[in-house]
Amino acid sequence: MYTQIAANKRRTLILMAAFVVFLSLLGWIFSRATANSNLVYFFGGFALIYAFISYFASAKIALTMAGAKPIAKKDAPELYRVVENLAITAGLPTPAIYIVNDPAPNAFATGRDPQHAYVAVTSGLLDRLNKDELEGVVAHEMSHIGNYDIRLMAIVIMMVTIIAVLSNMFLRMRFFNDRDNEAAGIFAIIGIIAAVLAPIVGTLLQLAVSRQREYLADASGVQLTRYPEGLEHALEKISADPQTLKHASPSTAHLYICSPFKGKGAQVMRLFSTHPPIEDRIKRLKQMEKTV
């Protein structure tokens, strides 16, 4: 766990630095392709500002996109008790608690560190799960907070999104202009390749980081509750529910404990899912029952 925490902090810094360098490089390529030298300064400055915003505001943006609302203890006393007890067990500050008014059962955690963390659950989750199952889910999310992967993934999704947006903008630009020469043509081709590959590389990064963190959060959550069956049964119920979250989107799907996409089109989305197969996660939890 401590190795993972250190690794996530290190990866966050490396990712932010790489993002600034990468976007500046894209700006240089695009500026050569369009004969507009101002683009390199625009991309570099934008990268610095966006990295700053991603670090401090990505969690609130994710909560807003999910339709999550803060609640008081009187609104969900059992949920509050579970979160507070598990926070004490994990040695973490109690995160702010949010509710997503949606009948589909699911939950997620976000934030930049344990001192600025948030746990959000859907109303459907509270309706469907018993106390042991709710503890399993919350312990899983508390593990995301303790492992610092909430910061990493919040920043990853912000950066992946903006790279895709900027790349799409470039593909729509008219880059064949007065500089009708061989060099301009070469840089135009390089620019197109960069614009196409950028979102693909970002998505692959998102998939690779997300799947591994789910396995780790499952294992760390069980260490908190000492009851693998709670999380195991919760995953079974959540994955079996046919409802898709109202505010589900590919940009926030990685945050949830289970994929928010269900029903028609779910099989296609599964090919690009940021979550490992539920069957594999449950299999690992069953193996942990023998050691707890």
- Tell me the three state secondary structure of residue 280: helix
Query: Among 267, 289, 113, 112, which Cα is nearest to 218's?
Result: 289
- Tell me the three state secondary structure of residue 262: coil
141 is catalytic: yes
- Catalytic choice (78, 133, 135, 141): 141
Strand arrangement of the beta sheet that strand 107-113 belongs to? 68-70, 96-100, 116-122, 107-113
Query: Among 21, 39, 20, which Cα is nearest to 31's?
Result: 39
Rounded to whole angstroms, how far apart are CA atoms 104 and 101? 9
Residue 209 DSSP label: H
Rounded to whole angstroms, how far apart are CA atoms 243 and 105? 8
* Residues with catalytic function: 141
